[in-house]
Chain A
Amino acid sequence: MQQIIYFFQKFKYFLFFLLLEIIALSLTFNNLDFHRSKFVNSANNLTGGFYSQYSNISDFFNLRTENKRLSEENTYLKNLLAKKSYLDSLKELEFTVIDSSKFKQKYSYTAAKIINNNYSKQFNFLTVNKGQKDGISKEMAAFNSKGIIGITENTSTNYTRIQSILNRDSRINARLKNTNYFGTLSWDGKDYKTVQLYDIPRQAPLKIGDTIETDGKSTIFPEGILIGTISKINNGNTADNKVDVTLFNDMSNLGYIYIVKNFDKIEIKNLENNE
């Protein structure tokens, strides 16, 4: 017994050091695991409140670019609306269907402001100023008018942490625009402007400059959100058939984003798990 007490006294600093390191290591491992990252993240009220105060000040410097982006998006949506009303007027000539029970909303969008943005690490996360109070939960899509940004991961009452597409754990279903050839989008951790598309079928007609968009196959992302353009095609006969994709979004300069809720997600998940 005395030996044990003597041992503890002799090595107390080293043992305390080991204890602290083990705590920190377990937090690190937890953080890398998408489904268990709960403890240390910036979506709690203290750090989130801090960052939102900070971004209140720093936002003024980005107002000009943010306004420009918003007006571009407005123009795009106005054009879409004009096209749609023209098509509707054509339809009305032929037949009219008034049936409110056939109307169904599949997605709902929430606007949120980014209050903390990382893009230089290997595992990047963003924090936004909307949380459970605004109906945001785990695994919802985040994007802006230029393209995808990430997937929500962790929520508190007022804040949400988003796993950026610039995270080595991120996997997103993507396809070549106007076709049904799809692959998996992930990031190799090198350049924040370029992500990689893997496992796209070899027969897909890929060309440099082609657009990549999200595929409707996952329950997270709606169909057809832009991602980027192909910048390099690997012509070698490798198994993973890697394609480099340059993002439309400048991930280092993000302001307001949308978070998408899919109302059918639970139904689809239940159906898939029933087997």
Chain B
Amino acid sequence: MNNPLSTITLFFSLLLLQVLILNNILFLGFINPYVYIAFVFYFPLKENRIPFLFYCFLLGISIDFFSDTGGIHAISIVFIAYIRLFFIRLYLKKTAIDYPFFNLNSEPFGKVFNYVVTLTVIHHFIYFSFANFSFQNFSNVLLNTLFSSIFTLILFFLGAFIFKKKN
């Protein structure tokens, strides 16, 4: 996961997966998974965070281009990209020395679960609040956040389990 080529592959495969397949799921008419945020979880930790923030912005804005949402995906993914480090310190207890050796797959499942769930819920809440863009139908925002988060998390953990390299 530390070489640039796999990052680029991840970027484009997540983008295409999201816009061509996942955006058309609409389970029960409104529940949609947003698995592209896996990019934030799998991007290697580095001391210099500016490229990371920039790539996340690029991914978000590309998805916005495809789904006609202005800049909403970009807002929410850049936000969780910025606060990622805080939750890595909080849940996974990593310091600057651990960054080059950090690998999400080798961490204990419970901690990874907390970390992924928190960021997913925050992302979805910001996304749906901006997509709704008013205080009308606010219960819809909460329901959408809840159901879509569950859907995203199921897909993310299934995908992580399938693509996990056997050591």
Contacts and interface: CB of A to CB of B under 8 A. Distances in A.
A170 B131 CA distance: 16
B33 to A, nearest CB: 13
Given A32-B133, A37-B70, 11 more contacts: A20-B57, A27-B70, A28-B75, A30-B70, A40-B61, A40-B69, A54-B20, A120-B32, A122-B132, A124-B68, A192-B29
B132 A24 contact: no
A31 B136 contact: no
Nearest to B81: A17
A252 B137 CA distance: 21
A40 B65 contact: yes
A121 interface: yes
Contacts, number: 109
Contact of B74 (A27, A51, A54, A122): A27
A107 interface: no
A126 B62 CA distance: 17
A240 interface: no
Interface of B: 19-20, 26, 29-30, 32, 49-50, 53-54, 57, 60-61, 64-72, 74-75, 78-79, 82, 130-134, 136-137, 140
B17 to A, nearest CB: 13
A34 B151 CA distance: 32
A61 B165 CA distance: 37
A269 to B, nearest CB: 27
A17 B68 contact: no
Given A32-B133, A41-B68, A24 B61 contact: yes
A21 B75 contact: yes
